[in-house]
Amino acid sequence: MAALLFSSTNGQSPAVNLREAFLRGQAPDRGLYFPEKFPTLAPEEIAAFAKLPYHEIAFRVLSKYTDGIIPSDVLATLCRDAYNFEIPLEKVYDRVCVMRLDQGPTASFKDFAARMMARLMGKFLHEDGKQLTILTATSGDTGAAVAHAFHNVPGIRVIVLFPINEISMSQRKLMTTLSDNVRTVAIDGKFDDCQAMVKQAFADPALKHIPLSSANSINIGRLLPQSVYYFYAASRLAQPGEPIVFSVPSGNFGDMMGAVVARQMGLPVKKLIVPVNDNDAFPRFLATGVYQKISPSRNSVSNAMNVGHPSNLARLVAVYSGRIDETGKIHQQPDLAAMRRDLFSSSISDQRTRETIREVWNKYELLLEAHGAVAWRGFQDWLATEPLSGLPAVILETANPAKFPEEIEKTIGFAPDVPPAMTAAIKLPEDFDRMGADYEKFREYLIQRHIN
Ligand X SMILES: *Cc1c(COP(=O)(O)O)cnc(C)c1O
User: Measured from the CB of residue 312, what is the shortest distance to ligand X in angstroms?
Assistant: 7
Compute the distance between CA of residue 86 and CA of residue 94 in angstroms, rounded to an integer. 23
Buried b / exposed e along 63-101 (16+ C-beta atoms within 10 A): ebbbbebbeeeebbebbeebbeeebebeeeeebbbbbbb
User: Measured from the CB of residue 141, what is the shortest distance to ligand X in angstroms?
Assistant: 3
Stretch that binds ligand X, among 24-32, 46-54, 253-261, 408-416 (CB under 6 A): 253-261
Mask: binding to ligand X, 392-421, rule CB under 6 A, as x and -?
------xx----------------------
Cα atoms in the 13 Å half-sphere on the side-chain side of 423: 5
- With CB under 6 A as the contact rule, the residue among 110, 119, 309, 315 that binds ligand X is 110
| Cβ nearer to ligand X, comparing 60 with 222 | 222
User: Measured from the CB of residue 325, what is the shortest distance to ligand X in angstroms?
Assistant: 19
371 binds ligand X (CB under 6 A): yes
| Cβ nearer to ligand X, comparing 124 with 232 | 232
143 binds ligand X (CB under 6 A): no
| Cβ nearer to ligand X, comparing 212 with 257 | 257
Pairing verdict, β 433-436 and 212-213: unpaired
Separation of CA 44 from chain center: 29
- With CB under 6 A as the contact rule, the residue among 58, 114, 141, 308 that binds ligand X is 141
Compute the distance between CA of residue 195 and CA of residue 346 in angstroms, rounded to an integer. 26
| Cβ nearer to ligand X, comparing 141 with 407 | 141
Contact (CB, 8 A) for 263 and 339? no
| Cβ nearer to ligand X, comparing 21 with 396 | 396
Could you say which DSSP state residue 320 is in? T
What is the secondary structure of 159-192 as a DSSP string? EEEEETTTS-HHHHHHHHT--TTEEEEEEES-HH
305 binds ligand X (CB under 6 A): yes
Helices (H), 268-404: 281-288, 313-319, 336-342, 350-364, 370-383
- With CB under 6 A as the contact rule, the residue among 163, 189, 251, 275 that binds ligand X is 251
User: Measured from the CB of residue 130, what is the shortest distance to ligand X in angstroms?
Assistant: 28
Could you say which DSSP state residue 299 is in? P
Nearest to 172 by CA among 399, 435, 432: 432
User: Measured from the CB of residue 101, what is the shortest distance to ligand X in angstroms?
Assistant: 9
192 binds ligand X (CB under 6 A): no
217 binds ligand X (CB under 6 A): yes
280 binds ligand X (CB under 6 A): no
283 binds ligand X (CB under 6 A): no
255 binds ligand X (CB under 6 A): yes
User: Measured from the CB of residue 107, what is the shortest distance to ligand X in angstroms?
Assistant: 9
- With CB under 6 A as the contact rule, the residue among 25, 122, 221, 249 that binds ligand X is 249
What is the secondary structure of 204-227 as a DSSP string? -GGGTTS-EE--STTSHHHHGGGG
Stretch that binds ligand X, among 18-26, 170-178, 182-190, 252-260 (CB under 6 A): 252-260
CA dihedral for 440, 442, 444, 450, sign (positive or negative): negative
CA angle 133, 295, 219 (to 5 degrees): 30
Stretch that binds ligand X, among 233-241, 249-257, 333-341, 421-429 (CB under 6 A): 249-257
Question: 10: helix, coil or strand?
Answer: coil
Distances in Å between the Cα of 172 and the Cα atoms of 90, 109, 157, 356 are 28, 16, 19, 26
- With CB under 6 A as the contact rule, the residue among 230, 253, 291, 376 that binds ligand X is 253
- With CB under 6 A as the contact rule, the residue among 177, 181, 252, 356 that binds ligand X is 252
Binding footprint of ligand X on the chain (CB under 6 A): 108, 110, 141, 217, 249-255, 304-305, 371, 398-399
